Amino acid sequence: MQLKKKLPKTVRGTQQQINIEPNKTNTLKTNADLDKPYLREYEGKRALHFAAQSSQSEMSIDMPDALVLGYTRAMMSFLLLEPSPKRIAMIGLGGGSLAKYCYRHLPSTEITVVEINPDVIALRNEFAIPANDARFNVLLGDGAAYVKDTDGQLDALMVDGFDVGGIPVQLSSQSFYDDCFASLANNGILVVNLWGSNERYPEYLERIQKSFSDCVTVVDSDDSFNKIVIAVKTEQFPTTSNVIRHHANLLSLSHPLNFHAKSNKLIDALQMG
C-alpha cells in the first residue's frame, strides 16, 4: 500500500484516508469481507484497518513505540498539565500507540486499557503491545461501563474509541462525559479525540464543557482534522503558562516528543479560550 502524500487526507477519528496500489500492498490479514479488523503494511508501517480505504492506527515497524499519527502526539499534551500521572485509563486500544508510549515513557504509571472488540485485542502481538503485568492491563469490555463503575481515582482518562461508523453513541453522550468527570481524581484530566469535521463535533464539545464546567481547551492535530479536547476536573483553570513551560522542561528530559512546541500550542489554545 502506498500513501500519496500530495493528496488531501480525510480523517474520521483515528481513521486516515489513503490510496491503495494493489501491486504494492502486503496484506497480513484478510478479514475485510468478514467485517473484522485486519492489517496492511506500507512504507515501513503497519496499519490497522476496519475498511479498505482507511486506517484506524499505524505503527512504525522499526520503532514500534513511536507515535506515528499526529493526533496521538497531540493527545500526549495532557502531560503538560500533569507530567507524572499515577493512574491512566484508556478507552479504545486500536494498534496500542498511546498505550505503548505511556508504558515505556511513564514507568511509574498504572495503565488500564478497555477495548470492546475482541478481534482488535487479538491483534495486539502484531503491534508489539506489551503483555499484561502488574501495572499494565488490557481489558475486554465496554468503555462506557468501565468509566461508570470506576472508583474516581484516575489521574487521566484518554478516550479514543471509534468503530467503523465513527464514535459510538455510548462514548459521546452527556451521561458518559458526566461519568468521565466522576471517574477522575481531583485535578484529573480527560483527553478526548474527536473528528473536527464531523457535523456533531460542536455538540460533543458542548457536552464535555457542560460536564467539566467549561474547564476545557482544544488542541489541533498537526496532520489531520482531529481535535483533541482536554478537560480538567479543577476549580483552578487554566493552568498558568509558567507551570506549563516548567513541565515541558521536565518532560523533555525523558520523552522523545517535542514538548516545548506542544507547550506553545497548549498555551495559545488556553489563551484563545
Residues classed as catalytic: 160
Q: Are the beta carbons of 212 and 233 closer than 8 angstroms?
A: yes
DSSP assignment letter at 198: S
Cα distance between residue 115 and residue 41, in whole Å: 23
What DSSP letter does each residue of 58-95 carry, written as one string? Answer: EEESS-TTS--SHHHHHHGGGGGT-SS-SEEEEE--TT
* Cα 111 to Cα 97, 131, 214, distances in angstroms: 13, 12, 27
DSSP assignment letter at 36: -
Q: Which residue do the cell numbers 464539545 mark? A: 205
